[in-house]
Amino acid sequence: MKVGIVGVGMVGSAAGYALALRGGASEIVLVDQNEALAVAQAEDIAHAVPFAHPARVLAGGYEALGGADVVILAAGVAQKPGESRLSLLTRNADVFASVIAGVQSAAPDAILLVASNPVDVMTDVAMRASRLPRERVIGSGTILDTARFRSLLGRHLGVAPQSVHAYVLGEHGDSEVLAWSPARAGAVTVSHFAEQIGAPITEEVRARIDDGVRRAAYRIIEGKGATWYGIGAGLARVVQAIRDDQRSVLSVSISTPEVEGVTDVALSLPRVVGRAGVMETLMPQLDEREHAALRASAELLKETADSLK
């Protein structure tokens, strides 16, 4: 599979590096307005290939994206310390118009995988600008928040995060919803699992995990300026689900016809991801409070996207 990455700062380059290490693509093309940066990143990643899986890694202009199956959009301005993702909107929306035009001139049929923040609104922007079907314009959404949720739950329960099945829904941002009700460890709810091992999930534990998930990006940005390793690995994971037609259930963002009474809004829900893009959307069984929180998140995103239109 040929994968293009537009915007090779920390997130784009981390995605390229993760793809190379995981063997997620046979060819990786890096594109950036800073051509020297793209060349340098491509050469650096290429030097890791002998330690991992065979792949061609090169830099070029938009024309080099010809034949790409997936193009990761990681272009845009970085999030500032203390800045919410939604406040990035006006600074990033203009960047996307020219980027998508360039991508589609070379690879009009590629699945677009959006990583730029605020990712849900930018996914909506990318879909409208590209005029591709909604299932072929995928935002990374809450895939990283979900990984954080599973990691912290696994740590509390003393099990591998891969054995935890829990999702973060809605916005990739402050209004995101940690779906506790349907969360499972193995074949039982996390609350029952926790009771069996003598580590009950109290309100204090919930609050600590919620803060650990919801505030993670802010703490990382405060410490080192941006996040890139986690999301780079998450993007590589989505690409592999597409490449191998895995039909994996991943919490990614696409424009959705209706969620909690809110129409045509891009947000994250568990989605079946395969070769055609998003193939199915699943609605978890939520309690009343979670339903209300998801609706509030959807309304916020809808209002923001509509203001941009």
- Residue 59's H or E segment, with its range, is strand 56-59
Mean pLDDT confidence for 244-253: 98
pLDDT value at 275 more than 90:
yes
User: Choosing from 53, 156, 165, 172, which is the catalytic residue?
Assistant: 172
Cα distance between residue 299 and residue 239, in whole Å: 29
Across the range 264-282, mean pLDDT stands at 98
Query: Does pTM top 0.85 for this prediction?
Result: yes
Structure token digits, residue 159 = 């099990």
d(CA 303, CA 238): 28
CB 247 within 8 A of CB 278: no
Q: Is 165 a catalytic residue?
A: no
Give me the pLDDT at residue 188, please.
95
Residue that has been written with the tokens 């986690």 in this structure: 230
Q: What angle do CA 44, 49, 50 make, to 5 degrees?
A: 120
- The rounded mean pLDDT for the chain is 94
Please give the pLDDT value at position 262.
98
Q: pLDDT at residue 14 above 70?
A: yes
Neighbours of 160 (CB within 10 A): 11
Q: What is the pLDDT of residue 79?
A: 66
Model confidence pLDDT, tens digit, residues 106-122: 999 999 999 998 899 99
Inform me whether the pLDDT recorded for 309 exceeds 70.
no
Tell me what pLDDT residue 89 has. 76
What DSSP string describes 150-178?
HHHHHHHHTS-GGGEE--EEB-SSTT-EE
Q: How many residues are present in the chain?
A: 309
141-200 residue pLDDT tens:
999 999 999 999 999 999 999 999 999 999 999 999 999 999 999 889 999 999 999 999
pLDDT digits (tens, 9 = 90+) for 64-101: 999 999 999 999 766 677 776 566 777 777 788 889 99
Residue with tokens 């996207």: 305
Q: In angstroms, how far is CA 296 from the centroid of its own chain?
A: 20
Predicted pLDDT of residue 84: 67
